[in-house]
A and B are shown apart, each in its own frame.
Chain A
Amino acid sequence: MAPAATTSNGNLSANDNIQRFAPPSRPMSPPAAHTLFHEKTRCFVYGLQPKAVQGMLDFDFICGRKRPSVAGIIYTFGGQFVSKMYWGTSETLLPVYQTVEKAISKHDDVDTVVNFASSRSVFSSTMELMEYSQIKSIAIIAEGVPERRAREILYVATKRGVTIIGPATVGGIKPGCFKIGNTGGMMDNIVASKLYRPGSVAYVSKSGGMSNELNSIIAQTTDGVLEGVAIGGDRYPGTTFIDHLLRYQQDPNCKILVLLGEVGGVEEYRVIEAVKSGKITKPIVAWAIGTVAGLLKTEVQFGHAGSFANSQLETAAQKNKAMRASGILVPETFEEMPQILAKLYQKLVKEGTIKPKAEVAVPKIPMDYSWAQELGLIRKPAAFISTISDDRGQELLYAGMPISDVFREDIGIGGVMSLLWFRRRLPTYASKFLEMVLMLTADHGPAVSGAMNTIITTRAGKDLISSLVAGLLTIGSRFGGALDGAAEEFTKAFDKGLSPRDFVDTMRKENKLIPGIGHRIKSRNNPDLRVELVKDYVQAHFPSTKLLDYALAVETVTTSKKDNLILNVDGCIAVCFVDLLRSCGAFSPEEAEDYFKMGVLNGLFVLGRSIGLIAHHLDQKRLRTGLYRHPWDDISYLLPTLGKPGGTEGRVEVDMA
């Protein structure tokens, strides 16, 4: 069984099947001028986009490329040096660079960048990239790039001879060669639209979403896409229709041009001019979307920033009319475009201009685990189970209760505890009792051992968590553990049917102290007010107080022996809690039993006392107290004396023979 591999976190293990790619042994001969992307195009991806990069690598793999198109990732916030990606069924490592300079210095074969930087930062990163003369084309994905910045990029790009695709685009695709980012969608769509091998039709579209639709239309009606570019929906795209159509005109493998324009701008007219002047001679099928605009009463800003007609010339209807007049094949409606394309293709096949090639077999790409899981194709046993809270949905759930309801119904800390600890809503009196316990156990002064440890740790300069934990780790059977013990002993005796007197006698015979009985100073005549508070509340609100009654009877027996052998606050809380779980109606007897065994009472004490321990930590910090050192005179030093008999007080001699 192979270990579940991770794609991007860079954690490597010995079992990984990693493929490394050596640089080419000799420099490539330069591609033809009309070629933007070819089967050896290498690029950087700017920004952390593991999904898009993986999509590009998968595309490369099924196209049969020998080396991945992505040479490295540039991520200026990155601390990571490699990113692990799949290469078919094996894996490969992509370097991650924090600066453009470093990336460029390591890869002289890269001439393309897919820039995923946000609309805020894309200007500066693109400008920086264009300073390096080896970069020949940049795709800008971000939407919402300010128009002035887009024009500035455009200006520099024209001067330096850099091809810009975008902004606000998904990119473009050249089957068999290169895919920009998320173009073409997921693998299944790339296979369905046969984008893994070249056809004879090259398109340029404004809209990225519609470019995928074109991929599908072209695959259904012809031998497929040769190249496709979405120039982006902004007012000032870096390259426009004409730039790409002129390239397609030069490309001998391209037989049909497709143009999908849009209302707004005048770029379609430059194509018309090129057709009229004979610069473009290959057949064009074209459509400008947005014909609806002229039929609406008011101005509408369509989805794309650039899709707004500032004059009659910029309307889609006018563009379609002008294109048709120049001899471009323009359908009556966009829905008829496939038929026109199919007819043209059939004609070119008949004329022998296009010779359909035999279909190649599609190499399979294994599906990503997470995607297969989302599609419901696979399952695996979960390593962890959680039944109390869920943060995956739109709202945090506590035992199924949305957090907004928790506040709307004002269920308080007690309510939240009952949801998370017991996975159910308890009656209001019960959650109030839980809160009461927290309040009563919150603190018991600085002298108790837990608080002492916290204070000493704080004074040693430790942080809050260390100091809190130092105190908490003191809690056990002697300190704070009385709750658990009391609940256990009283319950056991009560359930066995021992009379209070028998219980006291049995315990004495076994030489055991009764947990929860006895106080250092408080007595029957000087009662502990905390115990009175609990007793009064419980007697007023609980449906049953059987164990409390029993414990009070035990107290009668013990106080008759000694005045301070009263039911103390721990004992009182413990027995009342047992009464609560047994009588509130929310728990079966087995469940109640289970919760005691799981140590829920200790939980109450730990939670409550944490309040006090944190308070002691803050108090010491506030007082700026220094390191504590216990005075010598408060410790008796009783050490054995070496070599002298006697003095066995502190030293144990072990006979090693």
Chain B
Amino acid sequence: MSAKAILEADGKAIVNYHLTRAPVIKPTPLKPSSTHNAPLKLASLHFPDDKDTMAVLDQAEIQYPWLLASGAKFVAKPDQLIKRRGKSGLLALNKTWPEAKEWIAARAKKSQRVETVDGVLRQFLVEPLVPHPQETEYYICIQSVREGDWIFFTHEGGVDVGDVDEKAEKLLIPVNLSQYPSNEEIAKTLLSKVPKGVHNVLVDFISRLYAVYVDCQFTYLEINPLVVIPNSDATSASVHFLDLAAKLDQTAEFECGVKWAVARSPANLGLPILKGGSEKVQVDAGPPMEFPAPFGRELSKEEAYIAEMDAKTGASLKLTILNSQGRVWTLVAGGGASVVYADAIASAGFANELANYGEYSGAPTETQTFHYAKTVFDLMLRAPQHEQGKVLFIGGGIANFTNVASTFKGVIRALREVAPLLVEHKVQIWVRRAGPNYQEGLKNIKNVGSELGLDMHVYGPDMHVSGIVPLALLGKKSEIPEFSG
């Protein structure tokens, strides 16, 4: 639960829907519009492995009839949290629908290298092209810091925006919104290099955009280019956000979930109601917000399963697969301790062999711990055997209130289920844990280790939290004796 990136399509839908609805913090230069924005034309296309690429594209024509408008030109791009798409050749501009289709079909479900990361392209966004002269491209970015929210603005937006930190005008909006700057201040600070004629339009837009940022609890919002085309007498202008990247505060779901959902409901996206779809009853007036995994790290079935379990409990359960073929696996309790373990493994020179990052904490039940441990063990034992064997760390700090014996019961149940495979894969198991009732927990796991013939070493609080890592990976010796019950 933290700030998480969202799809461009979702970001645009939220901004577009709430731009005229979110309450502005101070009156803006323009009269509020009497009508709300029309739904944006956003064709968000997903290509799962089990669906034919052409079938998805054909379906899109039914769902988004505007794709078939005669003479229309489009922009197509992958929508997978990829930065600098233009530079990676992942932006198709000024295409007819058949051309865009062809461009997407050539890339969908195919692996793609972006800078150093490889990933499969599955999510595309197709939008109508907005023809505009170069000088109407601006750049705006809002991001949160401790003291408030910075607004970065430059009149030279576009693909080659360059070092924004250096050239953008900056304005800090304090956390206390009663100190929100006046329209004049905004214009003076951010728009000094912008033609006066569009000042009112831009100040109005910036204030409204910021209102959406606050109201929908964004933590990051970047629009580049932001296109502002003045009307003939330059009293107002039409504003288009061509490219958008955003992060939402996932913890604010209980406050903003409704707003995130309603902006993305089919009706507000202007989608025709398709017949035959069995409509699931949803909590809000739209689909729940989805937070995609970063490009190149598609959520595996197991990660999704743990994430789902995590979402349903007050305890914390996290799992990220870093390298499914890695030799070193971790099952560590605690948000801090889990990072300490990953550090220790990396500093021992095994960063490339580190298979997973994960943690369980906040007093999960025995059953939750069992499912969590089982998932990790299954992944570890599914990968091919390694001639040097594998290493499993069942680690953790000194718990504050989690009953170690009870969470270890879950771990032990999972160990029992896979014991023969653990032996077959030559898995060395290193245990370090302390906290309430650790004596019982360690005794039980040690007994199970010897009962099942596992290669296991068990330590208690006398051992440094991650002290077992150099012992296991570098063959170091310690004077601290193993836990003897």
Contacts and interface: CB of A to CB of B under 8 A. Distances in A.
Interface in B146-191: 146, 148, 174-176
Interface residues of B, number: 71
Interface in B278-298: 294, 296-297
Contact of A208 (B176, B336, B343, B354): B336
A185 interface: yes
Interface in A280-335: 289-292, 295-308, 316, 332-335
B3 interface: yes
B297 A298 contact: yes
A148 B469 CA distance: 39
B446 to A, nearest CB: 16
B386 to A, nearest CB: 20
Contacts of B366: 394
A87 interface: no
A152 B175 CA distance: 6
Contacts of A215: 398
Contacts of A289: 336, 339-340, 343
Interface stretch (A138-146, A396-404, A420-428, A509-517): A138-146
Nearest to A205: B336
Q: How large is the interface on A (under 10, 10 to 19, 20 to 34, 35 or more residues)?
A: 35 or more
B217 A146 contact: yes
B164 to A, nearest CB: 13
B467 A335 contact: yes
Contact residues of B: prevailing secondary structure:
mixed
Contact of B362 (A51, A143, A183, A192): A143
A209 B361 contact: yes
Nearest to A316: B343
Interface in A36-80: 51-52
A151 interface: yes
A236 interface: yes
B459 to A, nearest CB: 13
B251 A119 contact: yes
Given A301-B2, A302-B357, A394 B367 contact: yes
Contacts, number: 206
A262 B335 CA distance: 11
Contact of B399 (A185, A302, A303, A308): A185
A182 interface: yes
B345 A217 contact: no
A302 B339 contact: yes
A213 interface: yes
A304 B252 CA distance: 16
A165 interface: no
A574 interface: no
Interface in A184-229: 184-186, 189, 192, 205-210, 212-213, 215-217
B461 interface: yes
B279 to A, nearest CB: 28
Nearest to A303: B335
A335 B464 contact: yes
A303 B339 contact: yes
Contact residues of A: prevailing secondary structure:
loop
Which of B251, B338, B354 has the most chain A CB within a 10 Å cutoff? B251
B440 A305 contact: no
Nearest to A337: B464
Interface stretch (B30-38, B126-134, B316-324, B423-431): B316-324
Contact of A148 (B174, B214, B401): B214
Given A145-B251, A292-B346, A374 B337 contact: no
Contact of A303 (B361, B403, B405, B466): B361
B152 to A, nearest CB: 14
A456 interface: no
Contact of B339 (A185, A217, A263): A263
Contacts of A51: 401
Contacts of A184: 400
Contacts of B337: 207, 209-210, 213
A299 B116 CA distance: 12
Given A147-B219, A182-B400, A334-B344, A302 B335 contact: yes
Contacts of A333: 343-344, 347
A170 interface: yes
A146 B461 CA distance: 35
Given A291-B346, A333-B344, A236 B146 contact: yes
Which of A236, A305, A306, A338 has the most chain B CB within a 10 Å cutoff? A305
A51 B400 CA distance: 12
A279 interface: no
A210 B116 contact: no
A166 to B, nearest CB: 14
B251 A212 contact: no
B137 to A, nearest CB: 25
Given A209-B337, A303-B339, A216 B398 contact: yes
Contacts of A316: 343
A230 B200 CA distance: 47
Contacts of A302: 335, 338-339, 342, 357
B397 interface: yes
A299 B294 contact: yes
A316 B342 CA distance: 13
Nearest to B471: A335
Nearest to A376: B440
Contacts of B400: 170, 182-185, 208-209, 212
Nearest to A290: B339
B470 interface: yes
B249 A185 contact: no
A375 interface: yes
15 contacts: A147-B3, A148-B249, A148-B252, A149-B252, A155-B176, A182-B401, A185-B436, A189-B436, A209-B335, A210-B336, A217-B464, A303-B359, A305-B1, A334-B466, A394-B365
Interface of A: 51-52, 119-120, 143-149, 151-152, 154-155, 170, 182-186, 189, 192, 205-210, 212-213, 215-217, 233, 235-236, 260, 262-263, 289-292, 295-308, 316, 332-335, 338, 374-376, 394
In order of increasing CB-CB distance, the 4 nearest A-B pairs are: A303-B335, A207-B336, A305-B2, A210-B336
Given A296-B322, A305-B251, A335-B466, 18 more contacts: A143-B1, A144-B251, A147-B3, A148-B214, A148-B249, A186-B436, A209-B336, A209-B399, A210-B337, A212-B399, A212-B400, A292-B339, A297-B116, A301-B4, A303-B334, A305-B1, A332-B347, A394-B366
